[in-house]
Amino acid sequence: MNAEIHPAQASRQDSKNLLQRFKEVRNNSLVLTHGLSDADATVQSMPDASPAKWHLAHTSWFFEAVILNRHQGGYKPFDETFHFLFNSYYEALGPRHARPNRGLLTRPSLDRVRDYRAHVDSHLVQLLDRSEVSHRVMDLVELGLNHEQQHQELLLTDLLHLFAQNPLNPAYRPPVPLPYSGATPSGPAWVNFTGGIHKVGYQGSRFAFDCETPRHQTLLQDFALASHPVSVGQWITFMQDGGYTNPLHWLSDGWALVQKDQWQAPAYWEMRDGQWWTMSLHGFQPVNKTAPVCHISFFEADAYARWAGHRLPTEFEWEVAAQGVDTNGHFADCALYRPLPAAGGGDKGDGLNQMFGDVWEWTSSPYMAYPGFKSMEGVVAEYNGKFMSGQYVLRGGSCVTPADHIRASYRNFFYPHQKWQFSGLRLARDR
């Protein structure tokens, strides 16, 4: 959270605006779970994923534990046991239910979790509807809303992984026709950028996570980015050329996983009658060869770049290129939860397509602190900083990211082996 905490009270209009946003974000989580059965919302398909019911409860726990318990006098928790059940990783707030066992929480029921949300919401509304609200509370609520949007995306990615384990291939939302809007280039078209000293990191007066700050200078050499993310069709060419069988393309840890886990394709792909199909949130569908490839790990993205004779961009190359690019793109708000081909199949004015939305793009940069980084104050100091070890940065958002949640400085991060997210890649090269 980039904003400085002030002791002064927020203006009445600011608190009203935040109250409206609070209602919209909280309601959207309920909309995303509409139609799920209690069983759908309870099962955990792997330790990295969480049940939909847990996401709904944990985001409410965050508002209760971080704000209501500390800033609303006389607040009575909805259920004292929920503090243990729905804490995620906040060591300072006490013990918690083990992450791999979240799917064993058959109780509380989905309806009880919804009642919990309603209880928390009613008290947050009271808090924000007062005549005087401190900037401290306002900032924590804004953090909680951005935290909830992160969990809205995770809820969708986790549901996809869950439904992909079901041999019936259930659809989260009804199937929709696959849009084909022309072929992406068979080889990358390049957009050149001039090196030198560039400023990166968040700059502005709105919300940003602490890991996006402070803004600082970085030295870049001349570089170029591909005009499009790598497409499904291009990935199939990589596969047909032995991409998953040639160890010379792979980092050692990646090649070990190829052999151990028998990787042969992106996650959720399956060959049927000579054609690749993929599990999606709209059910089992043929792959779209003109859309960006997704559900690949960092190791796969890096291997493709080596095979293609290029490399992954650094996160700072990506950010410098994205500065000034319109953030409009294909996000979760479109309710079409699959990556799409570039609109019209052609270049936009600046030559860069789909920098935002569709797929998160792996970079070659480890997730580390910026020079001068300081964690947020108080209990939320555990939010980002302690995860700066062993993970890689992704940029740009995906088709399951809320549209107003993304910006050029936004840093997502996952471990290099993980591939259940909507993650793809864009090539880079030196000039």
Is the previous residue joined to 214 through a cis bond, with omega within 30 degrees of 0?
A: yes
* pLDDT of 39 higher than 80: yes
309 and 380, same domain (yes or no): yes
Does residue 169 lie within any of the structural domains? no
* pLDDT of 138 higher than 80: yes
Q: What is the pLDDT of residues 76-87, one digit of tens each?
A: 999 999 999 999
Residue 314 DSSP code: P
Q: Average pLDDT of 346-366?
A: 85
Six token digits for residue 262? 């028998």
Does residue 184 lie within any of the structural domains? no
In this structure, what CATH number is given to the domain that contains residue 302? 3.90.1580.10
Residue 349 confidence class, pLDDT cut points 50, 70, 90: very low
Residue 186 confidence class, pLDDT cut points 50, 70, 90: low
137 and 262, same domain (yes or no): no
Full domain range(s) for residue 152: 12-164
pLDDT at position 8 is 54
153 and 97, same domain (yes or no): yes
Instruction: Note the pTM of the prediction, 2 decimals.
Output: 0.94
In this structure, what CATH number is given to the domain that contains residue 144? 1.20.120
Q: What is the pLDDT of residues 139-160, one digit of tens each?
A: 999 999 999 999 999 999 999 9
Nearest Cα residue to 382 out of 151, 158, 66: 66
pLDDT at position 198 is 98
Please, what is the Cα angle at 194 between 188 and 200, to 5 degrees?
Answer: 100
Does residue 6 lie within any of the structural domains? no
Q: Average pLDDT of 352-371?
A: 97
Is the previous residue joined to 292 through a cis bond, with omega within 30 degrees of 0?
A: no
pLDDT at position 3 is 42
For the chain, what is the domain count? 2
* pLDDT of 2 higher than 50: no
Residue 125 confidence class, pLDDT cut points 50, 70, 90: very high
Q: Average pLDDT of 212-217?
A: 97
Percent with pLDDT over 70 in the chain: 94
231 and 356, same domain (yes or no): yes
Does residue 177 lie within any of the structural domains? no
Residue 377 confidence class, pLDDT cut points 50, 70, 90: confident
First to last CA, the chain: 36
Does residue 5 lie within any of the structural domains? no
* pLDDT of 210 higher than 80: yes
154 and 295, same domain (yes or no): no
pLDDT at position 348 is 47
Domain boundary among 164, 198, 224: 164
Alpha helices in 250-297 (DSSP H): 252-261
* pLDDT of 10 higher than 80: no
* C-alpha distances out from residue 386 to 90, 97, 127, 153, 389, Å: 11, 20, 30, 21, 8
Mean pLDDT of the chain: 93
* pLDDT of 183 higher than 70: no
Percent with pLDDT over 90 in the chain: 84
pLDDT at position 152 is 98
199 and 71, same domain (yes or no): no
User: What is d(CA 150, CA 53) in angstroms, rounded to the nearest whole number?
Assistant: 15
* pLDDT of 347 higher than 70: no
